[in-house]
Amino acid sequence: MVKTLPDKKITEKEMLMLEAPREKDEKPKEEEEKKQVSKRVEKKRPYKETFFTRQISAKTFLVTHILLLIFGLTFLGWMYYTLYHESGSDKLAQYSPVTHLPISFNLEVSNPDDDLLVNDKNILVSGTTIPSGVVIISVDGADSTSNNFGVDVNGKGGFSKIVPLSNGLNRLTITAFDSSGNIKSLQKTVYFSEEKLDDK
């Protein structure tokens, strides 16, 4: 005869005690699986060090920044030279002193002739020079008188002015100025006498 054991009711505490070892055994397995997966991912995607993430020494940092500074200053100097060198040289040429007269600048006095004897107290001074310039006529008499007369030049370069003479020797200095301040002068000598010489 086989003896049967009487049925026993398993309490909740006993059930928990039976399940607890299973949970303890499952947790280490899950952790090992996670570690293996992470190792596989690291093997597939190895870490690459880049220029921006790598560590550099203080000496390398200093040398790099000095080179960048030199390069920047060189570039700025080249830009300044390129932009302002030609315009600066043009300005210097404009303000440089004139050492010779331009070819187009001339002064001709058609009246009066040099070493002329006249009986009229007033004489016409006329001639041509650079258009739209200015002419000054200076009359130095024998009696130490000196008079200056300004004359405007027309668009064609012509000028004329009636000036008074002193008794005796008169030196006429005709001076022309252009817009740049260049000067050109001519002199004429005129003798004025109130007494008229009779022709025989």
The CATH number of the domain where 115 resides is what? Answer: 2.60.40.10
- Choose from 59-73, 75-89, 138-152 the range with maximum mean pLDDT: 59-73
Is there a domain that residue 117 lies in? yes
- Token duo for residue 129: 């020079």
Is there a domain that residue 147 lies in? yes
Domain that holds residue 121: 107-192
Report the DSSP pairing between strands 107-111 and 146-152.
Answer: unpaired
Is there a domain that residue 18 lies in? no
Q: How far apart are CA 162 and CA 167, in angstroms?
A: 16
Is there a domain that residue 140 lies in? yes
pTM above the 0.75 mark?
A: no
Cα angle 64, 68, 72 (rounded to 5 degrees) comes to: 175
pLDDT: is 168 or 53 the higher one?
168
Mean pLDDT of the chain: 76
> Is residue 103 pLDDT above 50, yes or no?
no
pLDDT band at 84 (very low <50, low <70, confident <90, very high): confident
Q: How far apart are CA 14 and CA 2, in angstroms?
A: 27
Is there a domain that residue 85 lies in? no
pLDDT band at 80 (very low <50, low <70, confident <90, very high): confident
In DSSP notation, 106-151 reads: -EEEEESPTTEEESSSEEEEEEEESTT-EEEEEEEETTS-EEEEEE
Q: Is 152 helix (H, G, I), strand (E, B) or coil?
A: strand
Is there a domain that residue 95 lies in? no
Is there a domain that residue 178 lies in? yes
> Is residue 109 pLDDT above 50, yes or no?
yes
Q: How far apart are CA 75 and CA 69, in angstroms?
A: 10
Other Cβ atoms within 10 Å of 184 Cβ, number: 17
Is there a domain that residue 90 lies in? no
Residues shown for the chain:
200
pLDDT: is 126 or 54 the higher one?
126
Mean pLDDT of 81-106: 58
State the total domains in the chain: 1
37-67 pLDDT tens trace: 666 655 555 555 566 666 778 888 888 889 9
> Is residue 79 pLDDT above 90, yes or no?
no
Residues near 126 by Cβ (< 8 Å), separated by ≥ 6?
A: 109, 110, 111, 158, 159, 160, 161
